[in-house]
Amino acid sequence: MTQPLRTAGRAAQLWPFLALPLALGSLIWAYWPTLVDTARTWAHDPQYSHGYLVPLFALALLWFRRDRCPAIPLQPTWWGATVLALGLGLRLFGTYYFYVWLGTISFIPALAGLCLMIGGWAAWRWAWPSIAFIAFMLPLPYTLSIQLTGPLQELATTVCTFLLQTIGIPAIAEGNVILLSEVDIGIVEACSGLRMLVIFFALSTAVALLIRRPLGEKIVIALSAAPIALISNIIRITVTGVLHETVGSEIANMVFHDLAGWLMMPLALGMLWLELQFLARLWLPEPVAAPRRTAAPRTMRTRTATRLALRPGGAA
């Protein structure tokens, strides 16, 4: 009777290790066309060139959070089947009605459903940051990209023109073009800052997930990606206008198209570091109360010595 129970216990412990590769392989097979199209976007669209690093960081994040890894045996929950069905239903809906982005983003709830079905809530508490971070490898919907590009171009043109005028360089904004004395700077879609915004938002979220800070501070760090990315892009365009007016168009074009692309990320990281230093001094940790000292229990020998000392002539 004991041997069958031991065999059943070992099977229960090995079940997650057998089910996880099978379920994950089936999910990848079902989403293979979507994943291939996504990888093709990474290769041809510089805005999503960071997509190759997202799955690697998601795996690294699991390792960094290994202290929260659930213990064996796991406790699966049928809520995972509900979440998985929601993800697959979203994919069928997007495929049938030609909403490509819905079919793509459904990979996230489907992966979350597998996590719950196999590992339960303990596995979900361990893996949810990695699952959520995978969303950064998926391209934005085309409509959303178009709607964001226009306002970002207009913002960059207006602010850069104002800065150039402030430092004494004659500049006029016409549409998305900055007119200088001898050259025009066109703020095209590639210069809108959307690429920097997407990449740096993923990077700042990664930093927020890794650092040990309060939750409110992490939210501030993640949301600060937008202003930091926009400021970096504005500095890039403004410096280009200054170079056009001071050293010539050849050097300015080299900086604008080559050097500035490499310097924008270190500049943004520097601003993020300054933000971390500022927040560390703004939100001080709560002081830890000193432990209260309690009197040590009096032993029988101590009490006997005390009684002897209280008697006349009892002190040695």
- pLDDT category of residue 314 using cuts at 50, 70 and 90: very low
pLDDT at position 246, please? 81
pLDDT digits (tens, 9 = 90+) for 105-164: 999 999 999 888 888 888 898 999 999 999 999 998 888 888 888 888 889 889 989 999
Residue 8 has pLDDT above 50, yes or no: no
Alpha helix (H) residue ranges in 167-259: 194-210, 215-223, 225-246, 249-254
Which two three-digit tokens encode residue 109?
């709830």
Residue 263 has pLDDT above 80, yes or no: no
Instruction: Identify the domain containing residue 191 by its residue range.
Output: 143-281
Pair 222, 155 in one domain:
yes
pLDDT digits (tens, 9 = 90+) for 13-55: 555 666 677 878 888 898 999 999 999 999 988 788 888 889 9
Residues 164, 212 within the same domain: yes
Of 66, 132, 143, 70, nearest to 105 by C-alpha is 132
Q: How confident is the model at residue 189 (pLDDT cuts 50, 70, 90)?
A: low
DSSP assignment letter at 294? -
Cis ω for the linkage preceding 73 (within 30 of 0)? yes
Same-domain check for residues 259 and 174: yes
Same domain, 170 and 132: no
Q: Are residues 207 and 158 in the same domain?
A: yes
At 151, list the tokens. Answer: 């306002």
Kindly state whether residues 147 and 277 are assigned to the same domain.
Answer: yes
What pLDDT is attached to residue 15? Answer: 59
Nearest to 102 by CA among 110, 94, 113: 94
Contact between 163 and 133 under an 8 Å Cβ cutoff? The reply is no
Q: Which residue, 139, 168, 189, sits at the end of a domain?
A: 139
Asked if residue 170 belongs to a domain, the reply is yes
Instruction: Inform me whether the pLDDT recorded for 313 exceeds 70.
Output: no
Note whether 147 and 230 are same-domain residues: yes
Residue at 289 is within a domain: no
**Distance between CA atoms of residues 309 and 312, nearest Å:** 8
In a domain, 8, yes or no: yes
Does residue 148 share a domain with residue 77? Answer: no
With respect to residue 255, please indicate whether it lies within any of the assigned structural domains: yes
Residues 181 and 266 in one domain: yes
- pLDDT score for 96: 86
This prediction has a pTM of 0.75
Asked if the structure places residue 275 within a domain, the reply is: yes
Number of structural domains found in the chain: 2
Residues linked to residue 178 through DSSP beta bridges, in sequence order: 173, 185
pLDDT for 295 beyond 60: no
User: What confidence score (pLDDT) does residue 290 get?
Assistant: 55
pLDDT band at 315 (very low <50, low <70, confident <90, very high): very low
Instruction: Identify the residue with better confidence: 206 or 183.
Output: 206
Question: Is 303's pLDDT higher than 60?
Answer: no
